[in-house]
Amino acid sequence: MPNKVADLLIELGTEELPPKALNKLSIAFTNGVKAGLSSQQLSFGEVQSYATPRRLAISITGLDQKQANQSIQRKGPSLKAAYDAEGNPSKAAMGFAKSCGVDVSELQKQETKKGTWLVFESEQIGVETKTLIAAIVDEALAKLPIPKKMTWGSHKIAFVRPVHWLILLFNNEVIEANILGKSASNSTLGHRFHSTGEIVIESASSYESTLETSGWVIADFNKRKQRIKQQVEKIALSLSGVAQIDDDLLDEVTGLVEWPVALAGRFDNAFLDIPQECLISAMKEHQKYFPVLDSKGKLLPVFITVSNIESKQPEKVISGNEKVIRPRLADAAFFFNTDKRKPLEDFNIQLEKLVFQEKLGTVLDKTKRISQLAATVASLIGSDMTSAKRAGELCKADLVTDMVGEFPDLQGTMGRYYAIHSGECDEVAQAIQEQYLPRYAGDAIPQCNAGIAISIADKLDTLVAIFGVGQIPSGSKDPFALRRSALGILRIIIEKDLDLDLEFLINEASGLLGENITNSATKENVFDFILSRYRDWYKQEGVDTDVIIAVESRKPTKPRDFNQRVKAIAQFKLDPAAVALAAANKRVSNILKKASSISNKEMRDDLLLLDAEKALAIAVKQSGQKASLLFTKDQYSEGLELLATLRPEVDQFFDEVMVMDENEEIRDNRLILLYKLRELFLQVADISDLSY
């Protein structure tokens, strides 16, 4: 008989939750409750999350009303140990029966491959679901990713924000429980301004519609987010523009409102004389406004705000926002004009007061290293060393400007503007802005040569410096974003197809740091750390992990070379011969582990006795020479395609030849042949790591 099911509604009402963390909290809460239900062997259907500034809620359909009964079996002593020679129960049998609350005669016998054992079988009656819900919710809330909890009132209860109400509704029945100091009910509160008094939720299934119609609350985060996006886009279109809608800002605004109403305001055209990035940053960071651009990407003197009320006098709401944005933009104009009073280079002196890391000196020290390393990179890629060196000298100067002090997200961007104003060449200015690229997965990479040079130099200096003082990232802790830096270096080198050697660059960076390095294994640590980042990138590109591992094992020092090998091995893996050759290489690898002394020996033709080993020796010599020549030209795919033709000889060898012959000379000669075979493939990758 199928288990009866019910719908469950959970809602926790609070003071306004942190908008940037709201969606993350909602997802974590939902996952925690689902995990709790599953751990109690409870089945359920559709799960819907809800999140607004004042609530976290979950609706679950088709939830088992009680746990299914479970058959419990306990294993006791073996039959031999359970009875003596006269057939009387032993102490072990009686003790086991007593622990089960039964007589020995009530125990069952179970036959296994290892003999017969006494067992106790019973049925555990399932518990009603509603008695488990409170503990499940409590545990899910306790595990939420809350960096800092707060307390309120006179009690010691702590949560991300003060809690005001709680709903636990099982179909239309309230579950009796107290969580975070609140007793469960079926009453909620609607919009802080549009709704008054408590709203009764009759059933879990009516929650969302009741809140929207009676409470002026759109409870579904994604629906609210989509509504905001549509409203903003519609208003921007009516203004002959396009709204700049960043996902992070959209999520934050969605976390600020329960009943979104988008409105457009204006600001003085005079503010457009300052860089639009400054205005956009002021609008987004301080006011949570959406900027509007024209068809050419130029900022229009308008903004779109999302109000949390549907005002009868929207013009007053707009006017209020226009009054608020004016001083913000005026501040930005003041900072810009103040910063321009002196050339960008003059700001460098203030970098002496800015500590990069306590053991590594100041940011000014870092810029000097970046400048020298960037010049080296530029020379290696055939670029102008002078521009790269100059860009390195100025790359951090804008960090101490008033504008970047107020709007940190403009670092690099303002450096470009101030460099142009100071008379620096276009490439130097562009490089200063591009130094931070790529900032995240999928972000653009530097385009100008000087930008490429200082971006690589900056990231590599940070890696070597931080590893040099022993601050190696562990777990999720990575305060200097070393993982991102390493991945950025790889992306730039590979996507720009640059012939750069990581070992050489790491050595150059280490030399510039000199006595600051206290970790004797810095160079090896940094290289291995960068090497390990390939997996993250190639996984995003859809490359099989075993292909990456196969190449990684050879530790190519040039990212471009690594990339060529990965592509070649990925293609080789699809060859019908690859399966057998990968298996053969794995077999050879295992054999050679026991015969390490043969690597320096030469194979003797006179000891090749069987046709199969003679054929393989000829094939290895002929194909190997051609393949090796191709590999020296980085033609890995062509070389592997040639080695794939060895499959018949390899198969025949293992079918007909006993490698570990009793005669030591014959055995070693065959091992040398296999060593040469394996070395051919190892010129590209260790294909024994490939899995099928």
Instruction: Kindly report, as residue ranges, where domains of CATH 3.30.70.260 are found in the chain.
Output: 5-67+129-215
Please identify which residue in the block is written with the tokens 């067992």: 119
CA atoms within 13 A on the CB side of 363: 15
According to the model, what pLDDT value does residue 91 have?
A: 86
Report the CATH number of the 5-67+129-215 domain: 3.30.70.260
Instruction: Kindly report, as residue ranges, where domains of CATH 1.10.730.10 are found in the chain.
Output: 570-689
Nearest in space to 682 (alpha carbons), one of 510, 545, 528, 552: 552
Burial 132-159 (b: 16+ CB within 10 A, else e): bbbebbeebbeebebeeeeeeeeeeeeb
Distance, in Å, from the CA atom of 638 to the CA atom of 208, rounded to the nearest integer, reads 61
Q: In this predicted model, what pLDDT tens digit does every residue of 538-568 receive, in sequence order?
A: 988 889 999 999 999 999 999 999 999 999 9
According to the model, what pLDDT value does residue 81 have?
A: 83
Residue spans of the chain under pLDDT 70 = 1-2, 596, 599
Beta strand spans in 606-654 (E): none
Distance, in Å, from the CA atom of 676 to the CA atom of 670, rounded to the nearest integer, reads 10
Ramachandran region, residue 665 (left: φ > 0; alpha: ψ -120 to 50; beta: rest): alpha
In sequence order, the 6+-apart residues with CB closer than 8 A to the CB of 41 are 67, 68, 70
Burial 92-101 (b: 16+ CB within 10 A, else e): ebeebbeebe
Q: In this predicted model, what pLDDT tens digit does every residue of 246-294 receive, in sequence order?
A: 999 999 999 999 999 999 999 999 999 999 999 999 999 889 999 999 9
Q: In this predicted model, what pLDDT tens digit does every residue of 29-86 receive, in sequence order?
A: 999 999 999 999 999 999 999 999 999 999 999 999 988 887 777 888 888 788 887 7
| Arithmetic mean of pLDDT over the chain | 93
**What one-character DSSP code corresponds to residue 285?**
I
Give me the count of residues in the chain: 692
**What one-character DSSP code corresponds to residue 130?**
G
Burial 192-229 (b: 16+ CB within 10 A, else e): beebeeebebebbbbbbebbbebbbbbbbbeebbebbb
Are the C-beta atoms of 319 and 357 separated by less than 8 Å?
A: no
**What one-character DSSP code corresponds to residue 175?**
P
Question: pTM of the entire structure?
Answer: 0.81
- Please give the structure tokens belonging to residue 256: 């600020």
Ramachandran region, residue 497 (left: φ > 0; alpha: ψ -120 to 50; beta: rest): left
**What one-character DSSP code corresponds to residue 161?**
S
According to the model, what pLDDT value does residue 596 have?
A: 66
**Number of neighbours of residue 124 by Cβ within 10 angstroms:** 11
195-203 long-range contacts (CB < 8 A, ≥24 apart) are 201/9, 201/11, 201/167, 201/169, 202/172, 203/7, 203/9, 203/169, 203/171, 203/172
- Quote the crossing angle between the two packed helices 482-495 and 522-532, to the nearest 10°: 70
Distance, in Å, from the CA atom of 404 to the CA atom of 597, rounded to the nearest integer, reads 63
Report the CATH number of the 347-532 domain: 1.10.3210
**Number of neighbours of residue 307 by Cβ within 10 angstroms:** 18
- Please give the structure tokens belonging to residue 317: 């709401």
Are the C-beta atoms of 462 and 480 separated by less than 8 Å?
A: yes
Q: In this predicted model, what pLDDT tens digit does every residue of 507-516 receive, in sequence order?
A: 999 999 999 9
> What is the C-alpha end-to-end distance of the chain, expressed in Å?
44
Q: In this predicted model, what pLDDT tens digit does every residue of 463-476 receive, in sequence order?
A: 999 999 999 888 77
According to the model, what pLDDT value does residue 1 have?
A: 45
Distance, in Å, from the CA atom of 18 to the CA atom of 99, rounded to the nearest integer, reads 52
Instruction: Kindly report, as residue ranges, where domains of CATH 1.10.3210 are found in the chain.
Output: 347-532
Q: Name the fold adopted by 570-689.
A: Isoleucyl-tRNA Synthetase; Domain 1 (1.10.730)
According to the model, what pLDDT value does residue 31 have?
A: 97
Please identify which residue in the block is written with the tokens 């860089």: 275
Integer-rounded Cα Rg, in Å, for the chain is: 35
In sequence order, the 6+-apart residues with CB closer than 8 A to the CB of 658 are none
According to the model, what pLDDT value does residue 2 have?
A: 52
Are the C-beta atoms of 413 and 277 separated by less than 8 Å?
A: yes
